[in-house]
Amino acid sequence: MFGSQAEFRKKALNTIGVLLLGTILCGFSGEAVYLNRPPEEIFGPDFAVPEWLTQELKSQQCAESALARTELKKRALQGDPFAQVMMGLNLLIDTKENSEKFSEAASWFHRAALQDFPAGQFLFGEILAEGFAVPKDERGSVAWTRKAAEAGLPAAQFVLGELYFWGLRGVDQDIYNASGWTHQAAKRGDIDAQFSLGLRYSDGKGMPLDHVKAVKWYRAAAETGHVGALNNLAVKYQYGDGVPKNNSVAVDYYRRAAEAGYHKAQFNLAAMYLEGLGVAQDYEQARRWYHAAADRGNFPAYLAIGKLYEDGLGVEKDTNAAIEWYLTAAEEGYALAYIRIGRLYEKGQGVAKSDIEAYKWYHIAAELNANDGNINRDFIATRMSPNDVEKARALAQEWMAKRTLPKAHAQKEKAK
């Protein structure tokens, strides 16, 4: 479920964490990792922070962590499963793409797993699933994940729920079991599970369609700062799904996620400023947030910025700049971008009017299965000569031959 060692490191550190009750354990690189959840939600309901940890390591700082690292390794070698997991996590902090250290981390997780320590079981199971530093073993992975889930580890319960939902790692797809495990994880505070339930109740996939319950779980995840949940909760308030419609509240949630760097929320917040929904209309703020989203790879934002330049909203009107932004979006398969370029040429807005150029761009959109591309292309062809149509098609084919275009994104003109 991770795809690379780097992704596994990030997920493992975010899921299990290293900060407990004000204690900072530092990696061998001197990097600190912080945890924003109670330890029982991470290590299971029966977990108690070891006395040696709270007594000897509390309030340690990275610069003074030599004692912490020495004590940690000593306890791990003596067989303390908590210390063994922490040793593995410390190695993950420092390992980057170092396979030798990753292998050592796997060894520590395995030792803890053999002592029925849920966090060790879960982490070793995920390593087996991906084949990181050990031979890939999906069946063994599921067995370890199930042990950790049955012991009450929320992260493992969420993953087991995902395996049932999607039918992964040799697990038969079972929506009932998926729902059960995901709900258990969510009730124990796993924010990924809470967000997942929000999605499934919202779209009715695997759960009955229920916007009220979707809001409940989005709100639970949002309370811990989950940016996707903040954004989706804002959407609920904007459209009045499961809650009374309230654009001002929507803006507040969009802003929290946007300021945390979430590109979808940045795009949505920009749209609220553009339309003056829940906030005073402000084209400059719209431009600012569209650019922030674009900087993070949000391709619909490229379309939006192009439209700002086309209409001169928050920026000086500049058709050439608009076309450049549209082309950037078009390269990612946004057929609407080709349609907008075609309309500029069809109407002669900021460029020389040209039915041939307009047909060219409409035809490219049509080739990407955009209905508006077909309609606009066929309409403009009624006033073109056969020779001009042939020339326009040749230009379109020449342009497309130089590029590998992705499948068109479903985005209609009304979604400007």
Question: In CATH, what number is assigned to the domain containing residue 105?
Answer: 1.25.40
The answer on pLDDT for 382 being more than 60 is yes
In a domain, 50, yes or no: yes
Cα–Cα dist 91/98, whole Å = 10
Q: What pLDDT score was predicted for residue 213? A: 97
Q: What pLDDT score was predicted for residue 85? A: 86
Q: Which range scores top for mean pLDDT: 12-26, 233-247, 356-370?
A: 233-247
In a domain, 173, yes or no: no
Cα–Cα dist 302/300, whole Å = 5
pTM: 0.81
Q: What pLDDT score was predicted for residue 165? A: 95
The answer on pLDDT for 216 being more than 60 is yes
Cα–Cα dist 62/51, whole Å = 21
Number of domains in the chain: 1
Buried b (16+ CB within 10 A) or exposed e, 365-382: bbbbebebbeebbeebbe
The answer on pLDDT for 2 being more than 80 is no
DSSP secondary structure letter of residue 20: B
Q: What pLDDT score was predicted for residue 132? A: 78
Cα–Cα dist 171/165, whole Å = 9
How many CB atoms are closer than 10 A to CB 320? 9
The answer on pLDDT for 54 being more than 60 is no
In a domain, 309, yes or no: no
In a domain, 311, yes or no: no
In the structure encoding, which two tokens stand for residue 47, read together? 């977990």
In a domain, 54, yes or no: yes
pLDDT digits (tens, 9 = 90+) for 87-109: 887 777 655 555 678 888 899 99
Q: What pLDDT score was predicted for residue 60? A: 45
Confidence label for 363 from pLDDT (cuts 50, 70 and 90)? very high
| Average pLDDT, rounded, for the chain | 83
In a domain, 10, yes or no: yes
As beta bridge partners, residue 23 has 20
Cα–Cα dist 9/123, whole Å = 10
In a domain, 118, yes or no: yes
Confidence label for 47 from pLDDT (cuts 50, 70 and 90)? low
In a domain, 141, yes or no: yes
The answer on pLDDT for 152 being more than 50 is yes
Confidence label for 14 from pLDDT (cuts 50, 70 and 90)? low
The answer on pLDDT for 346 being more than 50 is yes
Question: Which of the pair, 263 or 133, is modelled with greater confidence?
Answer: 263
Question: What is the extent of the structural domain holding 78?
Answer: 1-152
In the structure encoding, which two tokens stand for residue 382, read together? 């009624």
